[in-house]
Amino acid sequence: MRAAAPEVVAPQELEALCRKLQAQMPTGVALAMTRAGGDLPAIYPAESAAMTRAVPRRVAEFTAGRAAARMALSQLGVAPVAIPMGSDRAPVWPSGLCGSISHMDDLCIAVAAREGNIAALGIDVESAGALDADLMPSIATSLELRRMGGAPSLAAKRLFSAKEAAYKAQYPLSRRVFGFHTLGLAERQADTLTFRFSEEVPPFVAGSRIVVRQWETAGLCLSLSVLRR
């Protein structure tokens, strides 16, 4: 469902953008950014099995994502470690740690935290442009778009990113796959969006809330969900 997006962050701006976002992370959450195709360490043997049949672009994206994840973990004092892909294609984080990885074109971003009062994380990055009109009905209801405000196509893109982050955050706990309308936007306060489950998705009951914080900067829409115990 992702549409191609132009390069929105020049390589020389990446470090400054990363520092800016790191300063806005909640306590205990580390963030790192990389670019696919750069001078990055090779993936670990435990990770390479997932890339056996992948095309070069996907290998570059995967390599950059794992590099960003290890950079985020290093901020928590964790030595470099493999982050293999599980049978459900989700990253398998080291015991006692949680995290999330997102890609947009050649830009990769990862967040990580030590499990404790944080149970799971979800991160998503998109271009800040409009969402294709034919995708909007599958992403958001008219009520959700009104709650977001602004141009519907831009509101739909922000909702797409926020729901992706919320879905990623809940997945390690539920291991359930569901559509965008299972999480409905209940409230928006500035850069904070609150979603509610429209149905039971164990361990979440219908009506359970997931909060997402969202930033728009440097042509990007970045969404982060932190699930606390």
Annotated binding site for CoA: 58, 66, 102-103, 124, 164, 168
Q: Which amino acid is at 13?
A: E
**Close Cβ partners of 102 (under 8 Å, ≥ 6 residues apart):** 65, 108, 109, 110, 123, 124, 125, 164, 168
Quickly tell me which residue has 């890609």 as its tokens: 103
Burial string for 3-24 (b: 16+ CB within 10 Å, else e) reads eebeebbeeeebeebbeebbee
| Binding site feature residues for Mg(2+) | 124, 126
- Alpha-carbon distance 131 to 160, whole Å? 8
Q: What residues are designated binding site?
A: 58, 66, 102-103, 124, 126, 164, 168
Query: Positive or negative, the Cα torsion across 176, 181, 187, 193?
Result: positive
The alpha-carbon radius of gyration of the chain (Å, integer) is 17
